[in-house]
Structure 1
Amino acid sequence: MDGKRLQAFWNQEVKSLLAVYRQFETLLPNSKTAGAEHRGEDGRYVETLLRSYLQKYLPKDLEVLTGFILRPAVKLGDNNRSRSKMKDLHTTQLDIIIYDSGTYPVFQRMVDTVIVPPEGVIAVLSVKKTLRDTEIQAECNALLEASQACRCDEVSPECRRRGPFLALVATASDLADKQKPKEENVFEKLQTLYGSGSVFDDMIGFVGDLSGWHVFKARPPARITSSNKVAKYMYVELDDDELHQGFQYILSGILSVYYDKTRSGVKRPGYTAFASKPASMIGKIAFTSLR
């Protein structure tokens, strides 16, 4: 099997990403603990670093942003009023939103911080400098809520558009339970969060530390039956020459949503909202054809 060039290329890129962060630690060290002096800036630097690396390799129509998803209860498409009995809904602030701004509009933008409608969301990532045991469930729950907010169409589940790729990404990890393998620790938290009635797309696709390991969700077969209607989570421990796998998996997950055939039928998003104010007709002019 070939592909060695790409494996070597992505391995160098991941090592470069991790090395750039270590330079940040070197220039602004914490005198008492590992990491940089200011923990808040430490985390934001990792987030900015990952965003910059992702942006380099994604199609130009995809922007790597941060901010909120707003799903307004307004008319969609030509005259779709399926949200008319709902309420406006928004997410908490999300570390990374991969957004198709080549196709869909944005409500508000302040540099890279945005408020966007759900139709253009391709992926949502939570980013941690160091992934800790106590953070996994809360972060996965925030991603679950973001995925549910992105459920834009009201057709049957089999005909819905594929949901965004979800990931919890770190550059280091410190999982507290030393008596239990990290993969079991992570999986138990996912089991607690996702019940038997879960939607596959709402379940996180990647949890991992780019410097050494990750848990990922395998796609189900094309034909779903009662016997294979399960989300299979897999675990990979990485050697130094295998660090490319985590970053490649994230890129593949983003692109698999972007190019998925269920997302090819572009429909007008819910973007405007008029008050119920009657308008009076002032006249009529005949035309010969619609187009």
Structure 2
Amino acid sequence: MDGKRIQDYWSSEVDALIRTYRQFETLIPASSRAGAEHRGEDGRFVEDLIREYLARYLPRGLEVLTGFILRPAVKTGDFGRERSDEVDRHSTQLDIIVFDSENCPVFQRFGSSVIVPPEGVIAVISVKKHLNDGDVKKECEALYEAASLCQVIGMGGPKQKIRGPYLAIISVKSNIEKTRTDTLDWIFAQISSTYAEKDNLKFDQLVGFVGALDEWSIFKRRPTGNLTKAEYVGLMHQDSESHLGLQFLLTGVLSVFYDASRRNLRRPGFTAFPSNRPHDRNLGSIPCVLLR
């Protein structure tokens, strides 16, 4: 298979994204550290950049928003009482929520900030300008809680759960302590420890991607056969591989949006990973009991 044109195209887009951020640093520089002068605005600018780039390429019915997921303990469908023993629950504030607003309503909206029901959540993405040592477990925990809110059933009733949202942590650059013997192994250990004491862990509740756009990617492999664990692998980005991070995000979002549990449409050929590109590291696996 080929796809080189698509790889080159996505690489150019990521390079442009990173250049745009560096222009922001150039115009509003910090006097005593790397980055822009105002930390809060610095981080929001990165979130806005990632949202803008995702919104360019996703189907029109998907909005790239920020805000909260609210799971009300109410009837669903015509007679669904699967939440009768629950209480109303909501997430923490989430950096990016990819939401199917064409098919699902919104509780409240303030510009791009929203409160949404779980049925329409296609992806939840944590965004960091620089990924630091303390961020990995914290963000994985927040994504786990968001995914737990989004366990909902389809038209077939309680035995047919729809595919959960794609979960990701993305940063422009990694600030993980450089003295560590192996960054990818250390990050996977942080991911694994987040889920170590979770009961009845589902594959869909596990983070799908953690990456620094211009450095490395860690991703969860597709499940095969009898599902007992989620396997993770790592890639160190080589020359001309800046496309990897954005492609993982787009592929993950589209794989949920076009999943058979959500709609009867075949996913288009839209992303292209290098054929026969070996993984740089098989990082390990995390036990899980069910797909969703």
Identify the TM-score tier after normalising by the shorter chain: 0.7 to 0.9
Distance 2:146 2:214 in 1: 26
2:4 match: 4
Are positions 1:214 and 2:213 aligned together? no
The amino acid that maps onto 1:170 is S
Tell me, yes or no, if the aligned pair for 2:82 and 2:158 is still in contact at 8 Å.
no
2:163 match: 162
Distance 2:92 2:63 in 1: 19
Deviation at 1:246, TM superposition (A): 1.2
Are positions 1:238 and 2:237 aligned together? yes
Query: What SS does the corresponding residue of 1:167 show, helix, strand or coil?
Result: strand
2:206 match: 203
Deviation at 1:178, TM superposition (A): 1.6
The amino acid that maps onto 1:182 is T
Are positions 1:188 and 2:186 aligned together? no
Distance 1:92 1:239 in 2: 35
2:133 match: 133
Tell me, yes or no, if the aligned pair for 1:65 and 1:99 is still in contact at 8 Å.
yes
Distance 2:96 2:60 in 1: 16
Distance 1:166 1:37 in 2: 30
Which structure's residues are more often strand, by fraction?
2
* Alignment CA distance shift 1:29-1:260 (3 Å): same
Distance 1:65 1:240 in 2: 32
- TM-score w.r.t. the length of structure 1 is 0.86
Deviation at 1:177, TM superposition (A): 5.9
Tell me, yes or no, if the aligned pair for 1:212 and 1:237 is still in contact at 8 Å.
yes
2:263 match: 264
**1:77-112 Cα shifts (integer Å, max 9, x gaps):** 011111122100000000000000000000000000
**1:38-61 Cα shifts (integer Å, max 9, x gaps):** 111111100000000000000000
The amino acid that maps onto 1:172 is K
| Aligned-pair identity (%) | 51
Deviation at 1:155, TM superposition (A): 2.2
Compare CA radii of gyration and give the structure with the larger one. 1
Tell me, yes or no, if the aligned pair for 2:14 and 2:246 is still in contact at 8 Å.
yes
Distance 1:59 1:81 in 2: 32
Extract unaligned runs of 5+ from structure 1: 266-291
Number of equivalenced pairs: 259
Query: What SS does the corresponding residue of 1:262 show, helix, strand or coil?
Result: coil
Tell me, yes or no, if the aligned pair for 1:167 and 1:206 is still in contact at 8 Å.
yes
Deviation at 1:240, TM superposition (A): 3.1
- TM-score w.r.t. the length of structure 2 is 0.86
Distance 1:176 1:243 in 2: 22
Distance 2:180 2:51 in 1: 34
The amino acid that maps onto 1:205 is G
**1:8-34 Cα shifts (integer Å, max 9, x gaps):** 100000000000000000000001000
Distance 1:162 1:179 in 2: 36
The amino acid that maps onto 1:83 is R
Deviation at 1:194, TM superposition (A): 1.6
Query: What SS does the corresponding residue of 2:158 show, helix, strand or coil?
Result: coil
**1:247-279 Cα shifts (integer Å, max 9, x gaps):** 1111000000000001128xxxxxxxxxxxxxx
Tell me, yes or no, if the aligned pair for 1:167 and 1:205 is still in contact at 8 Å.
yes
Distance 1:240 1:56 in 2: 25
Question: Which one is further off, 125-134 or 174-183?
Answer: 174-183
The amino acid that maps onto 1:191 is S
Moved over 2 A (4+): 153-156
The amino acid that maps onto 1:176 is E
Tell me, yes or no, if the aligned pair for 1:177 and 1:185 is still in contact at 8 Å.
no
Deviation at 1:173, TM superposition (A): 0.7
Extract unaligned runs of 5+ from structure 2: 265-292
1:278 match: none
Query: What SS does the corresponding residue of 2:69 show, helix, strand or coil?
Result: strand
**1:150-179 Cα shifts (integer Å, max 9, x gaps):** 1122724xx311100000000001112623
Q: How does 1:8-19 map to 2 (within 5 A)?
A: 8-19=8-19
Distance 2:195 2:158 in 1: 23
Deviation at 1:180, TM superposition (A): 2.4
**1:184-220 Cα shifts (integer Å, max 9, x gaps):** 1111011111238421000000001001111000011
